[in-house]
Structure 1
């Protein structure tokens, strides 16, 4: 088969790294990078350190409103698909790149394989939820990470082409986790280009979603909680948010938060695995914390991964100082830590399903 795979954001690069290594043994893959995450620390470093094949197409589309970005991607991806005429279009997760790739494919009557299908937060106020729901509705293959996701699809009347393959993110943690080393010079830098020394004990913070970073108030509540912790907080900052983060730290005199540039996947995985606790609004990072046995506070109202909530290993939390501190003080019960994300061979299962697809 010829398969066109659409990627554009950090979580998709990780999943592509896990899948492409296996997929390309049997099939021809054409990799389309929309450019949604575009600078070195958000994109190039992932391709370099994870040995992902270089994109066959880099569309260079980033920034702007959701509609503008998705529309420009749709136009550009359609042109590539018309040229390549693949047997299948494969998309990951829930980004604007995912929806644009799926829409371009369905308009050209090309079957879509949606990896990480069936995830639900039950609110269309979340833009990623819109992307994943619409993509699921038009996909021929819906490959789920967990039985919960299969149940979500069944409740919506979607049962055809649905499989539980396990989670490519778990594949990646198992594969790349063996290669982790402490950050090297240049791995952990502030925004002035100076090296950041990694504390012996620290809390890891990642926070990028619009509802938490789009205005000062929620981010300031999060920062105020981090400032009150007894250990330093390491915060790799998304480029679109670093100006607000730096300004708040300066205005409020926050000294406990170490702002760094975005980090590569291997550095990020090391930071998770050695953190005392993790505070995040990332769907990927909350799973990585769970895989690696770290307590996590997720700054969301709805659980995209309810499997991680058992035993308070992961807890949902509003961007409120007192609630964050209260939940960080709760002891997790790791005895209830049962893996529901597969056996680490999701890539092989996905490849088998694609090979057997008859349309």
Structure 2
């Protein structure tokens, strides 16, 4: 059985890595890793793949940036070429990036089966490009690997056949546990955030990159005013996205003295930072899930989430950009009154093994 594993950005590789490691245990699976090159990331060196426990990509499409249409077209063209010369039996896509959409469409038009990992997640917000990617990918996939029960419900409502839906848990959590074990054996003193951790017994972590937050001057000003207020009580560290930094400078936004800005961090550096944080303030989908897995309070600066289990069972709550709501929730966390949460079903580090067993069956 020949399988292509598709990844276009750093978080995608963290999702395919557990699957690749599981596939390595089965000689009857011949898989190849396809890197579409959707995002360039200087942290994705050979060491990055070594840390993930997977080999370097077999194919690199080098799609690069551009508009959504330009990028999607470049990925489709490049992926079609490799499918023509090295046709797989199955294409596995993960998440909701443009690579997910592009490679799914190419495969289906070439009569190659498609499996979607992280299927069924919905924010019901069509202003998010990721939501469109999720919906279109799920509309043409053959196999659906689902991370949470709401995903099953969403897919059934959309008319999917139950036999094709598989509630397996979350490969991102598989990778989180794998990396935590590796982190225990690492010398972290060389990490750029080590000094900050040594100086502060308690701190909060911030990530912010969504256009609705960082491209809107009023929203970004409100968010930073709120963060500055929080930092008077709890120091904050913020590995800042280039887009966010650019807009901060363009909008002339000032930050509190107790907010430390850093360059974007590698996965292991960032994991070493947030795993010990008092709380996370974020608009990232992945961090909502990972903080739930480790029981860390998370305040999500968004009006909606495609990951509702992080709220119903986990440690996450939606804040929007409401200064009042964020500060009230922060006071609850500092006062020890935040919900404890629980680890969702099948978020046990074995999702990739379940996926592999189902594919072999």
1:333 matched to 2:339: yes
Note the C-alpha offset of 1:78: 1.1
Determine the C-alpha separation between the residues in 2 that align with 1:144 and 1:19: 14
Q: Secondary structure at the match of 2:43?
A: helix
Which of 168, 175, 180 aligns to 2:178? It is 175
Q: Is the 8 A contact 2:119 2:151 kept in 1?
A: yes
Determine the C-alpha separation between the residues in 2 that align with 1:43 and 1:164: 33
Deviation digits for residues 15-49 of structure 1 (CA, Å, limit 9, x no counterpart): 11211111132211111111122121267663242
User: Partner residue of 2:196?
Assistant: 197
User: Partner residue of 1:9?
Assistant: 9
* Unaligned 5+ runs, structure 1: 190-194
Q: Is the 8 A contact 1:295 1:313 kept in 2?
A: yes
1:237 matched to 2:243: no
Moved more, 274-283 or 46-55: 46-55
Number of corresponding residues = 349
Determine the C-alpha separation between the residues in 2 that align with 1:21 and 1:134: 28
Q: Is the 8 A contact 2:207 2:283 kept in 1?
A: yes
1:207 matched to 2:208: yes
Note the C-alpha offset of 1:118: 0.5
Deviation digits for residues 86-140 of structure 1 (CA, Å, limit 9, x no counterpart): 0000100100111011011111110001001000111211111100110011111
Q: Provide closer, same or farther for how the CA distance between residues 42 and 216 of structure 1 changes in structure 2, counting only shifts above 3 A.
A: farther
Moved more, 264-273 or 222-231: 264-273
User: Partner residue of 1:31?
Assistant: 33
Determine the C-alpha separation between the residues in 1 that align with 2:286 and 2:10: 10
- TM-score, normalised relative to structure 1: 0.90
* Unaligned 5+ runs, structure 2: none
1:252 matched to 2:237: no
Determine the C-alpha separation between the residues in 1 that align with 2:347 and 2:314: 21
Q: Is the 8 A contact 2:7 2:93 kept in 1?
A: yes
1:322 matched to 2:327: no
- TM-score, normalised relative to structure 2: 0.90
Moved more, 124-133 or 236-245: 236-245
Which of 298, 301, 311 aligns to 2:300? It is 298
Deviation digits for residues 28-77 of structure 1 (CA, Å, limit 9, x no counterpart): 11111111221212676632422321011122222221111111111111
Note the C-alpha offset of 1:245: 3.7
Determine the C-alpha separation between the residues in 2 that align with 1:63 and 1:43: 19
Note the C-alpha offset of 1:332: 1.7
Aligned 1:149-160 pairs, distance under 5 A: 149-159=151-161, 160=163
Q: Provide closer, same or farther for how the CA distance between residues 59 and 311 of structure 1 changes in structure 2, counting only shifts above 3 A.
A: closer
Determine the C-alpha separation between the residues in 1 that align with 2:99 and 2:277: 31
Determine the C-alpha separation between the residues in 1 that align with 2:133 and 2:94: 11
Q: Is the 8 A contact 1:91 1:115 kept in 2?
A: yes
Q: Is the 8 A contact 1:146 1:340 kept in 2?
A: yes
* Root mean square deviation, CA, Å: 2.2
Determine the C-alpha separation between the residues in 2 that align with 1:207 and 1:341: 28
User: Partner residue of 1:135?
Assistant: 137
Note the C-alpha offset of 1:244: 2.3
Q: Secondary structure at the match of 1:319?
A: coil
Which of 331, 341, 345 aligns to 2:350? It is 345
Q: Secondary structure at the match of 1:113?
A: strand
Q: Is the 8 A contact 1:287 1:308 kept in 2?
A: yes
Note the C-alpha offset of 1:186: 5.5
Moved more, 45-54 or 131-140: 45-54
Q: Provide closer, same or farther for how the CA distance between residues 29 and 132 of structure 1 changes in structure 2, counting only shifts above 3 A.
A: same
Give structure 1 regions of 4+ aligned residues with deviation exceeding 4 angstroms.
Answer: 42-45
1:188 matched to 2:187: no
